[in-house]
Structure 1
Amino acid sequence: MYDPISRLSEPQPRQLAADPGHLAAFIEAWEAARISYADVLRGGVDRSDIELARDHAYRRLLDADLQIHRLGGTDAVRVVSESLEMRMSQAGSCHFKRLWSGLVPGRGH
């Protein structure tokens, strides 16, 4: 039989709000992540952490991720990172492990 009390304790994924402004902000953050990730790839992901920290595109990528996390939660960050990895054919699957370390669930160093 269905037990409504036990369902309350299960963690629920964060849902994007139905507010069009909220959804538009999420889409803008996703697009910013896509563009800045492509720019970071062009500059090279094998650069040192210091070089990446000075890279404007990498800072935009991190800012976009924080916005995505704020708007959609950890699951949204995972979905966006997986989508960007698949779209950028020259990118290996390990890039987000380093670039968004600690922000992509289950994929930090």
Structure 2
Amino acid sequence: MNSTTTYRELLMSRLAELDGRLHRIESELDEEHSKDWEEAAVEHEGDEVLQQLGQSGQEEIARIRAALQRLRDGTYGECVRCGDQISAERLKTLPETPLCKDCAAAV
């Protein structure tokens, strides 16, 4: 199996995981809240956390989709800022990253 296939599988696996997580978050946010004021306040705080997790998940999904597009375009592994190759170690850790470590550090 070549590295492109490996990265595609990693990205698709993470995409499926995030999709499942976002559906669970959505379900929890749709649940009816308690009529008790104190419990409702705690539930509201929990909802805010869930909404933030959902937002973070959506942002990661966007990065993964962009990485999958770079795979299709044949530019995956090239830094979108400077054009240098992104190290295999960095791609293994952050397969959706569009930036090499030097450009990421400059952000």
TM beyond 0.5:
no
TM-score by length of 1: 0.38
TM-score normalised according to structure 2 size: 0.39
Q: Identify the structure with the greater helix proportion.
A: 2
